[in-house]
């Protein structure tokens, strides 16, 4: 008989994995649509409007499937992880409710204008609707990521009768991992949307159909993809440093580090063996993990570092916080 916890993980992983295909696409598509609508507002060239209209239709489809799969995912928190939901529900439920009230209804309302209101409102009002859909989709992502980040680096709470109770709203919202995680996720969404657009545009080019539209969309997508891919190098590094400083056990698990060590290598390949506390067929680059995390190839990696948000911000803007300094 299969372990019910394993089955719950498989089902929940499939649900979350399917759902997460759509929010990043929404980030990227709303950015491209906003750029096209801005160009149309400034130039009056109709091919910008026509390109925007095509991607708005796909955004509508993406939004609908994302909402439906997101509802199933939220129910799965209660069905698969009921005890956990009771434990964190007083805190975890607040950002999810805020996402629905402050972001979802804003996004869905103005998406309706994009889909059905082109001839019913002025060009400026339509551009404003495109901006608000872009803003609301990212605001929605922010609230969801606040909930996610609080689970990774909880703050602003206390335990009362076996349940987590909110004591400081802003401490919970501005928990140590929300900044790196939000910007990392947004950039990833822009990249995802850019290459989604590029793929469809390239297919039209191969078919020699709608060539002007395809060239315009492909050029826009490659520009967005190139810029955000370069930015993601820094944002991804910042996020990984945050994990190493605030969640050292997670970083050690990523890298198969069963013991704290100086000059930790960066794992490229290996098969972890938890029972034997080793990694079989290990291939890694010596000292690179210590260098990437602390800019010191001899730094300690894997120790139970506990770091506050203030110390983390100090590391980002003033200089590195070394593990051996006692944080």
Residue 314 has pLDDT above 80, yes or no: no
Q: How confident is the model at residue 309 (pLDDT cuts 50, 70, 90)?
A: very low
Using one digit for the tens of pLDDT, what is the confidence trace for 142-161? 999 999 999 999 999 999 98
Residue 320 has pLDDT above 50, yes or no: no
Averaged pLDDT, 121-129? 96
Sketch the domain layout of the chain as residue ranges: 4-175, 250-325
Averaged pLDDT, 52-72? 94
Cα–Cα distances in Å, from 64 out to 71, 97, 190? 11, 19, 19
Do residues 192 and 229 touch, judged by C-beta distance below 8 A? no
Secondary structure element (H or E) that encloses residue 165, with its range: strand 163-166
Averaged pLDDT, 162-175? 91
Residue 54 has pLDDT above 90, yes or no: yes
Length of the chain: 327
In sequence order, which residues have a C-beta less than 8 Å from that of residue 269 and are 6 or more positions away? 281, 282, 283
Q: How confident is the model at residue 1 (pLDDT cuts 50, 70, 90)?
A: low
- The structure's pTM equals 0.86
Averaged pLDDT, 206-217? 95
Q: Which pair of structure tokens corresponds to residue 306?
A: 């506990």
> For position 7, what pLDDT does the model report?
92
The least confident of 15-29, 102-116, 119-133, 290-304 is: 290-304
Using one digit for the tens of pLDDT, what is the confidence trace for 94-107? 888 888 888 989 99
Packing angle of the helix pair 46-80, 4-19 (nearest 10 deg):
170
Using one digit for the tens of pLDDT, what is the confidence trace for 221-267? 999 999 999 999 999 999 999 998 888 888 888 888 888 888 999 99
In sequence order, which residues have a C-beta less than 8 Å from that of residue 274 and are 6 or more positions away? none
Q: Specify the long-range contacts of residues 74-81, CB closer than 8 Å, at least 24 apart.
A: 76/11, 76/12, 76/15, 76/16, 80/8, 80/11, 80/12, 81/8, 81/12
Q: How many CA atoms lie within 13 A of 183 on its CB side?
A: 15
> For position 301, what pLDDT does the model report?
86
């Amino acid at each position: 008989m299969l372990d019910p916890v394993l089955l719950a993980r498989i089902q929940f992983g499939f649900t979350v994995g399917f759902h997460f295909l759509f929010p990043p696409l929404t980030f990227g598509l709303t950015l491209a649509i906003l750029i096209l609508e801005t160009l149309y507002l400034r130039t009056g060239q109709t091919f910008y409007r026509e390109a925007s209209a095509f991607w708005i239709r796909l955004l509508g489809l993406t939004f609908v499937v994302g909402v439906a799969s997101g509802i199933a995912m939220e129910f799965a928190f209660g069905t698969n992880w009921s005890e956990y939901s009771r434990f964190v529900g007083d805190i975890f439920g607040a950002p999810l409710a805020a996402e629905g009230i402050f972001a979802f209804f804003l996004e869905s309302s103005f998406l309706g204008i994009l889909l059905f209101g082109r001839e019913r409102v002025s060009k400026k009002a339509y551009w404003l609707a495109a901006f608000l859909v872009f803003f609301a989709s990212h605001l929605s992502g922010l609230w969801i990521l606040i909930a996610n980040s609080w689970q990774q680096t909880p703050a602003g709470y206390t335990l009362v009768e076996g349940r987590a109770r909110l004591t400081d709203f802003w401490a919970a919202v501005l928990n140590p991992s929300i900044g790196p995680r939000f910007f990392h996720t947004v950039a990833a969404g822009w990249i995802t949307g850019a290459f989604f657009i590029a793929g469809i545009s390239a297919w039209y080019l191969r078919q020699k159909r709608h060539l002007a539209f395809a060239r315009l969309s492909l050029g826009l997508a490659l520009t967005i993809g190139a810029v955000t891919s370069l930015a993601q190098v820094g944002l991804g590094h910042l996020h990984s440093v945050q994990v190493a400083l605030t969640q050292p056990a997670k970083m050690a698990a990523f890298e198969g580090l069963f013991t704290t060590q100086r000059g930790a290598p960066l794992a490229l390949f290996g098969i972890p063996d938890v029972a034997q506390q080793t990694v079989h067929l290990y291939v890694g680059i010596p000292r690179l993990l210590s260098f990437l995390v602390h800019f010191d190839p001899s730094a300690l990696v894997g120790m139970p570092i506990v770091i506050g948000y203030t110390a983390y911000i100090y590391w980002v803007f003033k200089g590195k916080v070394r593990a051996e300094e006692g944080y």
